[in-house]
Amino acid sequence: MNPAAYTVVIPARYASSRLPGKPLLDIAGKPMIQHVWARACESGAERVVVATDDRRILDACMSFGAETLMTRSDHESGTDRLAEVAERLGLADDAIVVNVQGDEPLIPPQVIDQVARNLAEHSEAAIATLAEPLPDAVALFNPNVVKVLSDMNGLALTFSRAPLPWARDCFAASRDSLPENIPYRRHIGIYAYRAGFLADFVAWGPCWLEATECLEQLRALWHGKRIHVADSLVALAPGVDTAQDLERVRCLLGA
């Protein structure tokens, strides 16, 4: 398959506990979702679709020319929303769909291409995603930073909010710094899927491990599916989760 033959779907919800209406927040004179959409359009995707459950987001996206679909409002995860979009677009089972989060206005188009290409090149994987080295011990012990551990073939063994792996002897002495020679990695939340897998994912429903860690990718591992993980070729700026994040991005984009 041509790695460029893929579709980007951008899930965009209005509800947010920390930043209500987040996709519509202004950054340099444009709503956040427009910045995300523009970055995705700079990638090699054949099609970029915003998926939302809110009329205000739909209207905003239509105003700047984005293809947009109204989806159900009862989806438990962004992946469930993607599955609805793949079905409604009539995508073939082997079609590649990349999930780009709607709060990533600085996402480099190169990483969107990278994760799509990785899935196309690894038929043994149902999902492809990315990671990057952890910077310090503070990040390792931060439950908001998701850690990933892979095998020798680049396939995920597991994901966790806990420090992973646990360096028993080193941490018994000190937890102030990262142990040497252990490749601690942070998971980056961008995913590529095959459309047929998305239908299976929704049909399975959540598993207890996914619910415990609040990490939906664990549903795939629980059902024996493989996830390819590669280090991102380009450094990623953090997304927008808080008001402080929003101000930082506004400064970076000259708002």
Q: What is the pLDDT of residue 1?
A: 41
Q: What is the pLDDT of residue 88?
A: 95
Q: What is the pLDDT of residues 63-92, one digit of tens each?
A: 999 999 999 888 877 788 899 999 999 999
Q: What is the pLDDT of residues 22-67, one digit of tens each?
A: 999 999 999 999 999 999 999 999 999 999 999 999 999 999 999 9
Phi, psi of 80 (to 5 degrees): -60, -40
To the question of pTM greater than 0.75 for the whole model, the response is: yes
Q: What is the pLDDT of residue 255?
A: 56
Q: What is the pLDDT of residue 4?
A: 54
Specify the residue for token string 């049909």.
203
Q: What is the pLDDT of residue 20?
A: 84
The alpha-carbon radius of gyration of the chain (Å, integer) is 18
CA atoms within 13 A on the CB side of 223: 18
| Domains in the chain, CATH or no CATH each | 6-234 (3.90.550.10)
pLDDT of the chain, 255 residues: tens digit per residue: 445 589 999 999 887 767 888 999 999 999 999 999 999 999 999 999 999 999 999 999 999 999 999 998 888 777 888 999 999 999 999 999 999 999 999 999 999 999 999 999 999 999 999 999 999 999 999 998 999 999 999 999 999 999 999 999 999 999 999 999 999 999 999 999 999 999 999 999 999 999 999 999 999 999 999 999 999 999 888 788 888 888 989 998 875
Angle formed at CA 136 by CA 187 and CA 233, multiple of 5 degrees: 45
Looking at residue 69, its amino acid is L
Across 4-38, b (16+ Cβ under 10 Å) vs e yields eebbbbbbbbbeeeebeebbbbebeebbbbbbbbe
Q: What is the pLDDT of residue 235?
A: 87
